[in-house]
Amino acid sequence: MPITLPPISRRGFLRRTFLTAAGLAVAPHIFAAEKPTEKDFWALFSDPHIAADRTLIHSEVNMAAHLESVAREVAALPVNPAGIFVNGDCAFTSGELSDYKTFAGLLDPLRQAPIHLTLGNHDNREHFRDALKSKGAVKSPVADKQTLMVAAPRVNWFVLDSLDQTLVTPGVLGKPQLDWLAKTLDANADKPALVMLHHNPGMTENVPGIKDTAAFLEVIRPRKQVKAYFFGHTHSWSITKDDSGIHFINLPPTGYVFKPGKPSGWVRATVSDDGMKLELRCLDTTHKQHGEVTELKWRV
CA dihedral 34, 281, 150, 240 (to 10 degrees): 160
- Summarised one tens digit per residue, pLDDT across range 167-220 is 999 999 999 999 999 999 999 999 999 999 999 999 776 789 999 999 999 999
- pLDDT recorded at residue 78: 97
Interatomic CA distance for residues 4 and 204, integer angstroms: 31
- pLDDT recorded at residue 19: 44
Q: In this model, does residue 253 exceed pLDDT 90?
A: yes
- pLDDT recorded at residue 228: 98
Q: In this model, does residue 32 exceed pLDDT 50?
A: no
Q: How many folded domains does the chain comprise?
A: 1
Residue-wise burial string across 170-188, b where 16 or more C-beta atoms lie within 10 A, e elsewhere: bbbbbeebbebbeebbeee
Interatomic CA distance for residues 128 and 238, integer angstroms: 28
Q: Looking at the DSSP assignment, which residues form a beta bridge with residue 279?
A: 268, 293
Q: In this model, does residue 295 exceed pLDDT 50?
A: yes
Q: In this model, does residue 166 exceed pLDDT 70?
A: yes
Quickly list DSSP for 150-182.
EE-SS-EEEE-----STT-SSB---HHHHHHHH
- pLDDT recorded at residue 227: 98
- Work out the mean pLDDT of the chain and round it to a whole number: 91
- Summarised one tens digit per residue, pLDDT across range 37-80 is 999 999 999 999 999 999 999 999 999 999 999 999 999 999 99
- Summarised one tens digit per residue, pLDDT across range 15-31 is 555 444 444 344 444 44
- pLDDT recorded at residue 112: 93
Domain that holds residue 207: 4-297
CA distances from 127 to 124, 133, 144, 191 (A): 5, 10, 13, 35
127 three-class SS: helix
Name the pTM for this structure: 0.92
Beta-sheet strands, E only, within 123-274: 148-151, 156-159, 193-196, 226-231, 238-241, 247-250, 265-271
Query: Which of these, 122, 117, 120, 119, lies nearest to 94 by C-alpha position?
Result: 122
- pLDDT recorded at residue 24: 37
- pLDDT recorded at residue 23: 45
CA distances from 259 to 209, 213, 232, 267, 283 (A): 18, 25, 15, 19, 15
- Summarised one tens digit per residue, pLDDT across range 86-112 is 999 999 999 999 999 999 999 999 999
- pLDDT recorded at residue 11: 57
Q: Where residue 229 sits, what CATH number does that domain have? A: 3.60.21.10
